[in-house]
Amino acid sequence: MSEALDLVKALIAFDTTSRGSNLSLIDFAEELLEKSGARCRRSYDASGAKANLFATIGPAGEKGEMDGGFVLSGHTDVVPVDGQDWASDPFRPEVREGRLYGRGACDMKGFIGVALALAPEMARTKLARPIHFALSYDEEVGCVGVQTLLNDLKKAGIKPALAIIGEPTLMKIVGAHKGGAVLVTRCRGHEHHSSAPEKGANAVMMAGEFVALLDDVWEGLKADDDPRFDPPHSTVQANKIAGGSAVNILAREAEVTWEYRALPDRDAAAIVETVKHRAAVEILPKYRARAAEAAFETDCRASYPGLVMDPESPALRLARAITGANQAEAVSYGTEAGHFQQAGIPAVICGPGSIDQAHRPDEFVALRELAACEAFLRKLIAKASAV
Ligand SMILES: [Zn+2]
C-alpha cells in the first residue's frame, strides 16, 4: 500500500490541469510501465503537447494484441484550482486523518497510482490474458483524448475484451451513466440606442429568452423518466452567459453556454434540435422584424455518449465476480465509459473515492479507498491469470 500511496502522491505533484500539457506525467508513467516490460504506444493531440498512453503487460495474441485483455482506464488531466480555497497546496499532496488531499486525489490519480503500483506484480504473474493501461488527456473538457486513443487502437487492430474506468464510485460498480454535450449559442442582434429598443435587436434580451426556453425544454424532458438515475430524467442547463457592451446600447452579441445530460438510451440529438427549432420559431421572429441580421447560431463544443446498462456485459460480470456485488448503479455524471462501449469495448466504472469530492477545493481520497482499490485490482490480476 505504501508504494501505491507514494505513486498517487507523485502523480498529484504533476500539474496536469487540462489547459496545459500532460507529457511530464505520461513520460513518468511510461518509464515506470516499461520497467515492468509493458509494450507502450502513444497517441497525441493536434498540438503534440498532450498524449494518451496505452500500455500492455502480458501475452500478445496470435495477431499481436488482438486477443482481448482487461483495460484499466484513467484520465490524466485534472480540473483547475483557480479561485478555489484550499487548506493546503493542491499540487503538494498531504495525508491528514486518513485522507490524501490534493487535486486529482480521487479524480482520478488515486486509481491510476494504485494501478501503476501493481505493474511489477502483473509482470511477475503468469497472465493468461493481457492487462492494458489506457491513460488519456483532456477528459475534463469533454472526453476528447479518449476518442483519439480508441481510434488509434482500432487502426492498430487492438481489441480489448473489456474496460474498467476508475472514476470515483467508492468502489461500487456503475453500469450506466448519462450522455452529455457542451453547446454554445451565439445570439446576434443589432446595436442601437437603448432608448428605442424596437429599432435594434437586443442580443442580451434574446439570450434571456433563450435561457427561459432551455428551462421550458428541461421541464418537458421530465415526463420521460428512468428511476435508476438521480435526477431520473434528462436535463438541460445554461451555465455561462456573456454579452453586451454598455447599459445604454442594445447589445449586438451575447453568448449562452449550455449543456444537456441525457438518459443514455434516448435520442440526445433530438434535444438540441428541439431547442434550435423552438428558438427559431418562438423567439427569433420578434427580433428579425426589428433587424434582419438577428440570429441564433448553435455549436456543439464537446459531447460524450451515455453508458447503456447491459446486464450481459462481460465488464459487469467481471466486476461483480470480483466484488461479490449483484447490483450495478446508474449515475448522472459522464465518463469515458460511453466511448469505450460505443467502440465495442464493454465498460464499467469502479474506482476509489467519492465523486462528491471531485472538482472541489480540498479534494481528497480516503486511504481505505485506495486499499480497497488495490484489493480489487489484485483480484483482477488473479482473474487475468486464470486460464
Ligand atoms: Zn474524472
Q: Considering the entire predicted model, what is its pTM?
A: 0.89
**CA of 257 relative to ligand 1 center, distance in Å:** 21
**CA of 244 relative to ligand 1 center, distance in Å:** 35
Among candidate residues 65, 107, 138, 139, the one labeled active-site is 139
Confidence (pLDDT) at 127:
94
Query: 357 near 105, Cβ under 8 Å?
Result: yes
**CA of 75 relative to ligand 1 center, distance in Å:** 7
Query: 353 near 105, Cβ under 8 Å?
Result: yes
Distance in angstroms (rounded) separating the CA atoms of residues 12 and 78: 9
Confidence (pLDDT) at 60:
83
pLDDT band at 67 (very low <50, low <70, confident <90, very high): low
Cα pseudo-dihedral 291, 256, 336, 2, rounded to 10: 160
Confidence (pLDDT) at 63:
59
**pLDDT tops 90 at residue 188:** yes
Instruction: Return the residue matching grid coordinates 482487461.
Output: 70
What is the percent of the chain with per-residue pLDDT over 70, rounded to a whole number? 98
* Catalytic residue status for 356: no
- How many CA atoms lie within 13 Å of 4's alpha carbon, on the beta-carbon side? 25
Distance in angstroms (rounded) separating the CA atoms of residues 180 and 262: 6
**What type of residue sits at position 280?**
A
Confidence (pLDDT) at 326:
86
Collect all residues with Cβ–Cβ distance below 8 Å to 159 and sequence separation of at least 6: 65, 66, 67, 68, 153, 344, 345
**CA of 40 relative to ligand 1 center, distance in Å:** 23
**CA of 107 relative to ligand 1 center, distance in Å:** 4
Confidence (pLDDT) at 386:
83
Under DSSP, the state recorded for 371 is: H
Q: Which of 250, 252, 270, 248 is nearest to 260 (CA)?
A: 270
* CA distance to 75, 137, 143, 182, 247, per residue, from 20 (Å): 14, 10, 16, 20, 37
pLDDT tens per residue across span 367-378: 999 999 999 999
- Provide the H-helix boundaries in 222-362: 268-278, 284-288, 314-323, 337-342
**pLDDT tops 80 at residue 387:** no
pLDDT tens per residue across span 290-334: 999 999 999 999 889 999 999 999 999 999 999 999 889 999 989
Looking at every residue in the chain, the average pLDDT score rounds to 95
**CA of 295 relative to ligand 1 center, distance in Å:** 36
**What type of residue sits at position 315?**
A
For range 137-142, the mean pLDDT:
91
Under DSSP, the state recorded for 345 is: -
**CA of 369 relative to ligand 1 center, distance in Å:** 16
**CA of 80 relative to ligand 1 center, distance in Å:** 13
Confidence (pLDDT) at 65:
59
**pLDDT tops 80 at residue 381:** yes
**pLDDT tops 70 at residue 228:** yes
Collect all residues with Cβ–Cβ distance below 8 Å to 282 and sequence separation of at least 6: 213
* Catalytic residue status for 255: no
**CA of 183 relative to ligand 1 center, distance in Å:** 20
**CA of 158 relative to ligand 1 center, distance in Å:** 24
pLDDT band at 64 (very low <50, low <70, confident <90, very high): low
Confidence (pLDDT) at 66:
56
**CA of 335 relative to ligand 1 center, distance in Å:** 7
**CA of 180 relative to ligand 1 center, distance in Å:** 14
- Provide the H-helix boundaries in 192-334: 203-221, 268-278, 284-288, 314-323
Among candidate residues 30, 65, 77, 167, the one labeled active-site is 77
**pLDDT tops 90 at residue 161:** yes
Q: Which three cell numbers stand for residue 108?
A: 482520478
What is the percent of the chain with per-residue pLDDT over 90, rounded to a whole number? 94
